[in-house]
Copies of this chain bind each other. A is one copy, B any other.
Amino acid sequence: MGERATIRDVAARAGVSVATVSRVLAGTYPTSAGSRAKVLRAAKDLDYVANAHARALAGAGRKTIAVLMLDVVSSFYAAVAQGVEREAAQHDRFTLVASTGADPARELALVQMMREQATEAVVLVGGVVEDAEYRERMAQYAQSLAAAGSRLVLCGRPAPAPDVPAVVVEYDNEAGAYAVTSHLLGAGHRRIAMIGFQPGNTTGEDRVRGYLRALEDHGVPASDALLHGIGFGQHNGDEAIRGLLDKCAGKPDFTAVFAGDDRVAAAAIKALAEYGLRVPRDISVVGYNDDPVAADITPGLTTVHIPGEEMGRTAVRLALGGTDRTGQRRRLLGTHIVVRDSVRRLTP
């Protein structure tokens, strides 16, 4: 107990050489039925399993793919992780998961570790504040990973520079925001508030841009008074709505709210209810992400679906240089609106 059997033990018990054992176990080489049987028998008796490290050292063995993200519990990250895990499993790879907790230092340490592990690819997930420091850090990761025969995959993050050896998988935040905003506009809304986005964060800013562009294309003037950022997450939805409503003594000067993500939207709905405002009767609300919560709340939330799992899958497919017809190193995934019951059509 505690000491696992080695290939030598199996060979001894089966009365053959270690090479023969290796061959029948790998199955990649002709062996006589006799030795095969003996070896299999011995292996079973000893409850033998090969040492993956030795195997890896000798140049064979299963490869692994690493996913690094802020946390594992946000539904979007979880979806990406699941996509990576599933696709990796299909390609006979393992998935190593680690969370960075938004700490660049820890991220760096993890990238190093993954390099030591000889992971085939390192997938970094999640929106970030895109500054010069960020770009340089990514470029460095990509370089050192590439030098070690691995590669960097950026998921839902901006690409650092065209010549940096990284794979990038994104989804179109701006287009999605444009689409939901247009949906609201199409339903007759003109005074549309946008809340719950983090200034500086790429994801949030892209969404704001889509919102603004939709407004402009429909000839509706944007108003700073209706823009209420701060950040994603539940808390911010509540605060944003109160901020908006307190300005006008509870008599809203908007008919619809576009929340930066679904949890913000849920919180907004809650806050509205406290002011006696019901959705969609009094105010229409749309969100972003198609988080599970969007389908769970009452009324069902109209939102933008983002392909989390698909991103994860695409990430590993591209990383493995798989069957991607285009052979591109950059991929933009589409989003689409999911219409539920949180938008009311205005009939003027």
> What is A's interface to B at a CB cutoff of 8 Å?
1-4, 47, 49-57, 62, 64, 71-73, 75, 78-79, 81-82, 85-86, 89, 94-99, 112-113, 115-118, 144, 146-149, 234, 263, 266-267, 269-270, 273, 292-293, 295-300
Known: A293-B293, A293-B296. A98 touches B115 (CB 8 A): no
B62 touches A73 (CB 8 A): no
B86 touches A94 (CB 8 A): no
Residue of B nearest to A267 (CB): B296
Q: In the complex, A71 Cα to B79 Cα: how many Å? A: 10
How far, in Å, is A69 (CB) from chain B's closest CB? 10
Contact of A98 among B89, B270, B273, B299 (CB under 8 A): B89
Known: A113-B94, A234-B295, A296-B234. A78 touches B86 (CB 8 A): no
Chain A contact residues: over half helix, strand or loop, or mixed?
A: helix
How far, in Å, is A217 (CB) from chain B's closest CB? 32
> With a CB–CB cut-off of 8 A, which chain B residues contact A269?
298
Known: A51-B118, A263-B296, A297-B266. A113 touches B73 (CB 8 A): no
Known: A2-B149, A49-B115, A267-B296. A94 touches B95 (CB 8 A): no
How far, in Å, is A129 (CB) from chain B's closest CB? 23
B94 touches A96 (CB 8 A): yes
Residue of B nearest to A116 (CB): B52
B296 touches A1 (CB 8 A): no
B57 touches A51 (CB 8 A): yes
A75 touches B72 (CB 8 A): no
> With a CB–CB cut-off of 8 A, which chain B residues contact A53?
53-54, 56-57, 117-118
Q: Number of copies of this chain in the oligomer?
A: 2
Known: A57-B54, A97-B85, A296-B234. A49 touches B116 (CB 8 A): yes
How far, in Å, is A329 (CB) from chain B's closest CB? 15
Residue of B nearest to A85 (CB): B99
Q: In the complex, A56 Cα to B263 Cα: how many Å? A: 43
Q: Contacts A71-B82, A94-B96, A97-B97 given; 12 further ones with Cβ under 8 A? A: A1-B146, A2-B146, A4-B148, A49-B116, A72-B72, A78-B78, A85-B97, A85-B99, A95-B97, A269-B298, A273-B298, A293-B296
A98 touches B95 (CB 8 A): yes
> With a CB–CB cut-off of 8 A, which chain B residues contact A146?
1-2
Q: In the complex, A263 Cα to B297 Cα: how many Å? A: 9
> With a CB–CB cut-off of 8 A, which chain B residues contact A97?
81, 85, 95-97
Q: In the complex, A307 Cα to B47 Cα: how many Å? A: 36
- What are 25 A-B interface contacts by the 8 Å CB criterion? A2-B146, A4-B149, A49-B115, A53-B54, A72-B85, A73-B78, A73-B82, A75-B75, A81-B97, A82-B99, A85-B97, A85-B98, A89-B98, A89-B99, A94-B96, A94-B113, A94-B117, A95-B96, A96-B97, A97-B97, A263-B292, A267-B296, A273-B298, A292-B293, A293-B296
